[in-house]
Amino acid sequence: DEAHTDGRARWLGRAQVRGVRLRILANHGSACVKAANELAWSARKLAGVGVDVITPDWISAVEARAVNIDPAEDLLYTPLAHCELPEFRDLRLSFSNYHDAALRERVGRLATLLGAKVTGQFGRTNTHLVSETLGGPKCDKALELRKPVVSRSWLDACACAGQRLPEGPHTTTAVKVPRPADASRSARAGWGSLSGAVTMDALTPGGASRAALTTDAAADGAGA
């Protein structure tokens, strides 16, 4: 209403005088995005101030890292308009080879925002395995069951597009390089010494065979 608009204008005027940069906190979802964008437009139009629309995910990251972070650094730091996608409701995702707890949490957060179910174990009821590299019992199980193994870039692309996209361009092909503790076992198994990024095509003619260089039972249970 008019009184509300006048009050907002006076507040934004004070913000302009003080030279502050506004940060508008909003949750994910189309309604929140619409409201935040309207407020951001008012701030730019009436006061000419810079505006960032941020999410609780951004605040958590700033607190964890104890530094100021550009909201453009991660798509979760600004509100996602498209959540709970119909195409994701029947998807059951599990994750593998994410030894960075923060990154693993981030991938799981995005998957649930999109509407997928996330499981700790991997089995026949799972539809996808999200992993940046191949290797370990979960990857072995996924390949055995002919389930897609994709990188987190697939989730990012779906979130940006607001719909489920084909997995093909995001299929994981890089093989996990053994850590030092596993190098001798890999050599005895006939893999020799590997370094850098390795692809399936580099190890097998035509990429037809699958290779699991290491197993990390402590991090990844294959599940039933």
Compute the average pLDDT of residues 184-196: 37
d(CA 54, CA 46): 20
Q: What is the pLDDT of residue 201?
A: 35
Q: What is the 3-state secondary structure (H, E, C) of the chain?
A: CHHHHHHHHHHHHHHHHHCCCEEEECCCCHHHHHHHHHHHHHHHHHHCCCEEEECHHHHHHHHHHCCCCCHHHCHHHCCCCCCCCHHHCCCEEEEECCCCHHHHHHHHHHHHHHCCEECCCCCCCCCEEEECCECCHHHHHHHHCCCCEECHHHHHHHHHHCCCCCCHHHECCEECCCCHHHHHHHHHCCCCCCCCCEEHHHHCHHHCCCCCCCCCCCCCCCCC
pLDDT digits (tens, 9 = 90+) for 61-116: 999 999 999 999 999 999 999 999 999 999 999 999 999 999 999 999 999 999 99
Least confident of 19-28, 45-54, 162-171, 179-188: 179-188
- What pLDDT is attached to residue 196? 32
Count of residues in the chain: 224
What band does 186 get if pLDDT is binned at 50, 70 and 90? very low
- Give me the percent of the chain exceeding a pLDDT of 90: 62
Strands in 128-131's sheet, in edge-to-edge order, are 117-118, 92-96, 128-131, 149-150
Q: Are 141 and 125 in contact (CB under 8 A)?
A: no
Start-to-end Cα distance in the chain = 58
Q: Are 71 and 104 in contact (CB under 8 A)?
A: no
